[in-house]
């Protein structure tokens, strides 16, 4: 009953927001009433498709569910930009009125600009989301790094979100690009999937082809816990990756050693108390003579505990870099870092913008990435 009530609230809010866009934009457009009617019909269709796309795999079966998800997520991306631009337009008109420049011409052409810019952002965002992520090179200076580890590389992929709109072909292309890097290790830092092993196992199979001198490693993200993390942990292991759950491995490398640890997702204990994220526990029994200590942690907010535990570098994801404007401004409300390389005391934290996308197939101002992290002597 509570779930149904929440759904009614969400759908009602969605309808009100669509009505707001129609009320503020459609009457101001320099178009015939027939075209205005088409605009109303499109807003009504959007209002129906967004929730239908989100619930597609609950209300219908594949392959129709995937098609409905595609439609709903595309529309959601467009609606998001329409709403934000409509709100910004109203703020601009209010501000212009204060300076005495408010007029019919500004009202008309700003109304034209809203759907035009929203469509352009959605089109560019779709291209950015669906292309194979580019390689981003990041050098991390490590104090007292042994000479043998200077140039040690880790290929990081994160937040792929295999699910309704991301399938095997998309992941195949990512794996191909990662393998061309010939990294010393591969790190998959969570949010691999959105869905069950039963439905998605054929589409995550390309992970078995990941190749690196010291192998491939995986840590859970919050979306694994939405999709039965225990089943996915078993499946990822079956594919040949090492799953690090508050534990570490020591990688001997040309006479030196890299300690590579991983923790469960920051929120994992809400789903399984035994999975509570613990960077200190991940170091239990670690040798003292390793050249560098690296932690894989899905969420950047694991960083304070990682710094206290004594790690040199943390590799994270989760944020998607905001994925598209203006959501990048909201990420700092939950996470200490949005993207890129940051410093916390003696700990370096690298936050990937993600290799796939979540929800709308849209990336605008936050390009996807495959990260090649190279350790260098400071």
For the chain, list the domains and their CATH numbers: 2-130 (no CATH), 134-377 (3.60.21.10)
User: What gap in Å lies between CA 28 and CA 25, rounded to an integer?
Assistant: 5
- Note the pLDDT of residue 3: 54
Q: Which residue positions in the chain have pLDDT lower than 70?
A: 1-4, 99-102
- Main-chain dihedrals φ then ψ at residue 239, nearest 5 degrees: -75, -5
User: What gap in Å lies between CA 166 and CA 177, rounded to an integer?
Assistant: 17
- Note the pLDDT of residue 1: 55
């Amino acid at each position: 009953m509570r779930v149904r009530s929440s759904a009614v609230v969400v759908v009602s809010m969605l309808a009100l927001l669509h009505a707001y866009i129609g009320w503020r934009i459609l009457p101001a457009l320099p178009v015939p009433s027939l075209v205005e009617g088409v605009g109303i019909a499109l807003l009504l269709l959007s209002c129906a498709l967004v929730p239908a796309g989100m619930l597609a795999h609950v209300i219908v079966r594949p392959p129709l569910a995937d098609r409905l998800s595609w439609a709903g997520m595309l529309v959601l991306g467009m609606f998001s930009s329409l709403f934000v631009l409509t709100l910004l337009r109203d703020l601009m008109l209010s501000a212009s009125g204060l300076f005495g420049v408010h007029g019919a011409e500004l009202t008309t052409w700003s109304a034209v600009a809203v759907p035009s810019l929203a469509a352009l952002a959605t089109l560019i965002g779709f291209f950015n989301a669906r292309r194979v992520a580019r390689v981003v090179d990041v050098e991390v200076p490590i104090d007292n790094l042994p000479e043998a580890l200077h140039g040690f590389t880790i290929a990081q992929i994160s937040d792929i979100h295999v699910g309704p709109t991301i399938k095997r072909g998309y992941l195949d292309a990512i794996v191909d690009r990662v393998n061309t890097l010939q990294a010393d290790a591969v790190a998959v830092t969570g949010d691999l999937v959105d869905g069950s092993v039963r439905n998605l196992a054929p589409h995550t199979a390309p992970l078995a082809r990941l190749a690196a001198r010291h192998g491939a490693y995986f840590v859970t993200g919050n979306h694994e816990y939405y999709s039965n993390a225990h089943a996915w942990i078993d499946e990822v292991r079956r594919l040949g990756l090492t799953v690090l759950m508050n534990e570490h491995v020591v990688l001997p490398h040309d006479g030196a050693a890299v300690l590579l640890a991983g923790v469960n997702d920051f929120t994992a204990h809400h789903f399984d108390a035994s999975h509570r994220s613990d960077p200190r526990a991940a170091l239990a029994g670690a040798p003292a003579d390793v050249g560098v200590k690296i932690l894989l942690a899905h969420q950047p907010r694991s960083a304070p505990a990682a710094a206290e535990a004594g790690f040199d570098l943390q590799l994270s994801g989760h944020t998607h870099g905001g994925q598209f404007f203006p959501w990048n401004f909201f990420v700092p409300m939950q996470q200490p870092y949005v993207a890129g390389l940051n410093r916390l005391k003696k700990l370096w934290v690298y936050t990937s913008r993600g290799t796939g996308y979540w929800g709308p197939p849209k990336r605008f101002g936050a390009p996807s990435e495959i990260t090649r992290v190279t350790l260098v002597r400071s």
